[in-house]
Structure 1
Amino acid sequence: MILKKRSEPPEIFQLESLLQRIPFNHSQFPHWTEKLRRITAGFHGEQRVDSFWQEITLPIPHYLIHDLFIKKKHSTHQMDTILVTSRFILVLEIKSISGLLHFDQQTRQFSRTNKDGSIDGMRNPDDQVRRHEKWLEQFLTERKLDLPVIGAIVFAYPSAVIQSKAGNRIVIQSSGLPHLLDELLASYQQDILSKALTKKLAVQLLKLHSIKQLPELILPPDYFRGVFCPKCQKGQLHYYWRKWACKSCSFSDPAAYLTAIEQYRVLCGPTITNRQFRDFIDLKDPAVTSKLLKDAKMPFEGSYKDRVYLIPGKNRGTESNSIDFESI
């Protein structure tokens, strides 16, 4: 059973919004473009690994939790996938990288050799898994549960060629996930937890999940203002006769401005005023802007003249913080 599905990282929408509104010649444009590429590739790799779970049938009580983010006082744990079973807990660190990969056990360095012969030093995924294993072991100890914790590194694509392993660490290609589960079931044949306790443990883990805050980005003064066409990705939409229309294509939609409100939230903050929204979408008429904000049905504070609207976090580009534990 999947307790928490994987959702698109909100950073993707944030970076797409930023790149749509800054000039190509901006000094940070290449940096943000590359960051978007990496985050998107990572998400697609995780989705690829997720698809292999459909081939796996487990004859024991089990619960899957994707993208578990746990915020502690001085550190965080972001675990790509956790499988809680009645016999063991499996935690996966998923990597969407290519090239010749080398783990150095003495220096704890992890490197990649590219096709052109260049070498990139990267964060060691073995160390990341070790951190997660230790935290989970402590979590179980506090609840007086003696359940094995197994960490594995999964490379999403076959273009990742593993030259040297990370000691005894389980390192596999994503296609090997079904085989790994068969091996674990053969190695751990006795149930340690009942079905009810397995479920209780998984829910306790899920309740620790918190929303990862988006990084703060600063729009340059010369950012592009307006509501942009989602169809042709070229033109700026113009508002007339109560709808937004694109002059470059046939697209029109009276609710197209809602995307701009979502962009404002991830780029500028969770509150917005009439003046701020007028400036953001390049609309001159305060009365029209007031109607648009009212039609968006957002909660607000203050009187008509000094009204501040609260942009809900449930919009696209953010993760919902509501989990119905009663239905689990």
Structure 2
Amino acid sequence: MSRLQADDEEFTSYQEAYYRVQAGIAGELKMQRTLADYHFVGPYKIFYNFECINEKGFSHEIDALIITTRFLLVVEVKQISGTLFYKPAFHEFARQTEEGLLENFSNPFDQAYRHKLFLSRLLSKWRIQLPVLFIVVNANIRTKLDSSLDGSPIIHLSGLPKFLEKLYQNYAETKLDLVELERKLMAIACRLPISKNVQRDRIRNGVLCKKCEFHHVMYYYHGLWICPRCGEKSKKALFLALHQYRVLIGDHITNRELREFVGINCKAVTSKLLKRLNFEQFGKGRGVYYLIPEDVLSQDNR
């Protein structure tokens, strides 16, 4: 959002997506606190934000994967407000806002069930016998669940401990080697790449002032980035800009591309800056480019 012009034709849609992501993160953090307070029976392992790619090349993003020696539980977390409705025959999931607007959402039951099928096949392949279950958890206490959801695998977050208690009662202990299963899952886990679908000419250049909520471009002076509006001085602002460049444009950058992006006119000054950054260098002569590391944000203590 900070890299789009406010009048960009898709700014509003990205803004709405951003708010959905923020709500999702808030819901997941609430769930993590609930599970941290719960006393599991026997050994267990929880993977949060488990990501992997299946044998056909399609991705899986699981909010929480709870593994015990009795069951494996896929948890899909939602933070949707309003009143939720479901038409099982059509697999249609919708919500009505407080203003009365009816909106359709991706069906979380189908999402979680897809993860369950994948994990069931995976355990079978590994010759591991363990029940695979799923539940959708709504973390917004103001949300109302319509009667059309009766019998559906959805609960409010406050009911998750009791739901786990029932699972412990209904499923017997197995001979699962939890450490071995954890090792196998870690071996297939990977961070999924961020999709880049914004054209370069729509992305704002400049090292943006965080104190001014990214509205103003900072200039470079004697090793510092200075905001002309609020006077903020920072050495770290560059690293956030480079992180954004890496995510939105690419992980390779040349001297010319860096000058253009951060607003430095002098090639020699940019060369000194790149030398201090100590990025891995490739190519020769005019073909030289630099690799922006994945952990560039963690280098902001320089």
Same fold? TM cut 0.5: yes
Give 1:321's aligned residue: none
Contact 2:239/2:296 (8 A) holds in 1: no
1:145 aligns with 2:128: yes
Amino acid at match of 2:256: R
Taking the TM superposition and a 5 Å limit, the aligned residue runs for 1:33-44 are 33-44=15-26
Instruction: Give the direction of change, closer, same or farther, for the CA distance of 1:261–1:92 in structure 2 (3 Å limit).
Output: same
- Aligned counterparts of 1:222 and 1:111: Cα–Cα separation in 2: 33
TM-score by length of 2: 0.91
SS in 2 for 1:191: coil
Give 2:82's aligned residue: 99
Instruction: Give the direction of change, closer, same or farther, for the CA distance of 1:136–1:165 in structure 2 (3 Å limit).
Output: farther
1:296-321 Cα offsets, whole Å, 9 max, x none, are 1211102354321011122349xxxx
SS in 2 for 1:21: coil
Amino acid at match of 1:307: V
Taking the TM superposition and a 5 Å limit, the aligned residue runs for 1:62-141 are 62-72=44-54, 73-141=56-124
- Aligned counterparts of 1:255 and 1:162: Cα–Cα separation in 2: 46
1:292 aligns with 2:273: yes
SS in 1 for 2:209: coil
Contact 2:219/2:263 (8 A) holds in 1: no
- Aligned counterparts of 1:34 and 1:232: Cα–Cα separation in 2: 21
Give 2:4's aligned residue: 22
Contact 2:85/2:148 (8 A) holds in 1: yes
1:273 aligns with 2:254: yes
Give 2:217's aligned residue: 236
- Aligned counterparts of 2:53 and 2:264: Cα–Cα separation in 1: 40
- Aligned counterparts of 2:62 and 2:147: Cα–Cα separation in 1: 24
1:192 aligns with 2:167: no
- Aligned counterparts of 1:277 and 1:148: Cα–Cα separation in 2: 53
- Aligned counterparts of 2:230 and 2:34: Cα–Cα separation in 1: 40
Give the stretch that moved more between structures: 86-95 or 295-304: 295-304
- Aligned counterparts of 1:170 and 1:229: Cα–Cα separation in 2: 45
Per-residue deviation at 1:71?
Answer: 1.1
1:2-55 Cα offsets, whole Å, 9 max, x none, are xxxxxxxxxxxxxxxxx2233211111111111111112111111111110121
1:97-150 Cα offsets, whole Å, 9 max, x none, are 111111212111111112222211111111112111111111121222221111
Per-residue deviation at 1:212?
Answer: 1.1
- Aligned counterparts of 1:44 and 1:145: Cα–Cα separation in 2: 34
- Aligned counterparts of 1:46 and 1:175: Cα–Cα separation in 2: 13
Identity among equivalent positions (%) equals 29
Q: How many residues are aligned here? A: 296
- Aligned counterparts of 2:203 and 2:156: Cα–Cα separation in 1: 43
Amino acid at match of 2:103: D
Amino acid at match of 1:158: I
Give the stretch that moved more between structures: 233-242 or 274-283: 233-242
1:47 aligns with 2:56: no
- Which of 140, 145, 161 aligns to 1:178? It is 161
SS in 1 for 2:61: strand
SS in 2 for 1:69: strand
Tell me how large the CA RMSD over aligned residues is: 1.9
User: 4+ residue stretches of structure 1 with deviation over 6 A?
Assistant: none
> Where does the alignment leave 5 or more consecutive residues of structure 1 unmatched?
1-18, 318-328
Taking the TM superposition and a 5 Å limit, the aligned residue runs for 1:238-277 are 238-277=219-258
- Aligned counterparts of 1:282 and 1:263: Cα–Cα separation in 2: 15
Amino acid at match of 1:199: V
Choose between structure 1 and 2 for higher RCO, CA contacts under 8 A separated by at least 6 residues. 1
Contact 1:151/1:169 (8 A) holds in 2: no
> Where does the alignment leave 5 or more consecutive residues of structure 2 unmatched?
none
Instruction: Give the direction of change, closer, same or farther, for the CA distance of 1:45–1:222 in structure 2 (3 Å limit).
Output: closer
- Aligned counterparts of 2:128 and 2:100: Cα–Cα separation in 1: 48
- Aligned counterparts of 2:71 and 2:202: Cα–Cα separation in 1: 54
- Aligned counterparts of 2:221 and 2:113: Cα–Cα separation in 1: 58
TM-score by length of 1: 0.84
Instruction: Give the direction of change, closer, same or farther, for the CA distance of 1:279–1:37 in structure 2 (3 Å limit).
Output: same
SS in 2 for 1:82: strand
